[in-house]
Amino acid sequence: MLVEAKASLVATGVTNVSTKLRHGDLVETVNEMEMDSDLIVVGKRGEGADFAKLHLGSNLERIVRASRKPIMVSSRAFKHVQNFMIAFDGETSSQKAVNHIRMSRLFLGLECHLLMAGAAAEENRKRLQEATGALQRAGYEVHTNLIEGPADSTIASYVEAHRIDLLVMGAYGHSRLRNLIIGSTTTEMIRTCKIPVMLFR
C-alpha cells in the first residue's frame, strides 16, 4: 500500500516522498511525526466503514483533538479546488484558520467565502468584518455572509448552494462530554459534506 501510494504521488509531480511503516497507536505516532509537518492529511472513514454515509473512522476525532497542526480530512472523490469557505464563529480556532490562510500561499488565487452562522448581533458583525479585512489585506476577494440559523444546517446548505470545493473550520471547540450530549458541529460537517474539510484546533 505504501509503495502504491508513493507511486501515485510521484506520478503527480511530487519529488520528495518518504514512507514509513509503524506499529503501535496511530495518535501517538501522528503526534510524534507532526513536529516536522505543516499539514496532516487523513481519510474520513475507517477501513470497516464500508462507505456508510454517517460512519467516521474511529481515530479521526482522536487525531484532530490531539494534533497541533492543521488537519485535512479528504473526501472519497478527488476534485480540483477552485474555491473555499471558512466557517467562522469568532472563536480561537476559526481565528487561527483565518490567520493561517492569510499567511499561506496555498490558497492564493482561489475564490474565498467567509460565513458566520448565528445571530446578527453587533459583536458577530464586528468579528466578521475584522476577519474579512484581514483576508482582503492578504489579497483575497472575500464573499462575506452572516446567516441566522443553526451552524450545521446553515453551513451545509451554503456549501451545496455555492458549490464550495473546500470547507475550512475550527474543530471540536467544546469538551467531549458536551459533544456527547448535544452533538458536535465539526463531526456533523465531516459526515454530511462531501468535500474535503480542513480543521484547525
Whether the Cβ atoms of residue 136 and residue 130 lie closer than 8 Å to each other: no
pLDDT digits (tens, 9 = 90+) for 35-70: 888 999 988 765 554 444 444 556 788 888 888 899
- As a whole-number percent, the residues of the chain with pLDDT over 90 amount to 51
Fold of 83-168: Rossmann fold (3.40.50)
Kindly report the number of other CB atoms within 10 A of residue 131's CB atom.
24
Q: Which is it for strands 111-117 and 197-200: parallel, antiparallel or unpaired?
A: unpaired
For residue 70, CA distances in Å to 39, 168, 173, 184, 201 come to 5, 10, 14, 18, 7
For residues 117 and 81, give the distance between their C-alpha atoms in angstroms, rounded to a whole number. Answer: 23
Residue of higher predicted confidence among 180 and 14: 14
For residues 47 and 121, give the distance between their C-alpha atoms in angstroms, rounded to a whole number. Answer: 44
Which residues 6+ apart lie within 8 Å of 172 measured at CB?
61, 64, 65, 179, 184, 186, 201
For residue 125, CA distances in Å to 7, 95, 132, 137 come to 48, 14, 10, 18
Furthest C-alpha separation in the chain: 54
Q: Which residue has the cell 467516521?
A: 56
pLDDT of residue 57: 54
**Average pLDDT of 96-122?**
92
pLDDT digits (tens, 9 = 90+) for 133-152: 999 999 999 999 999 998 88
Residue of higher predicted confidence among 2 and 174: 2
Residue of higher predicted confidence among 27 and 87: 87
Which strand (E) or helix (H) includes residue 130?
Answer: helix 122-137
pLDDT digits (tens, 9 = 90+) for 151-184: 889 999 999 999 999 999 998 754 554 444 334 6
pLDDT of residue 62: 82
Which residues 6+ apart lie within 8 Å of 40 measured at CB?
30, 34, 63, 67, 69, 70, 71, 72
For residues 151 and 45, give the distance between their C-alpha atoms in angstroms, rounded to a whole number. Answer: 23
Whether the Cβ atoms of residue 34 and residue 72 lie closer than 8 Å to each other: no
**Average pLDDT of 82-88?**
96
Average pLDDT, the chain: 85
Outline where DSSP puts E strands in 76-196: 83-87, 111-117, 142-147, 166-170
Q: Which residue has the cell 473550520?
A: 169
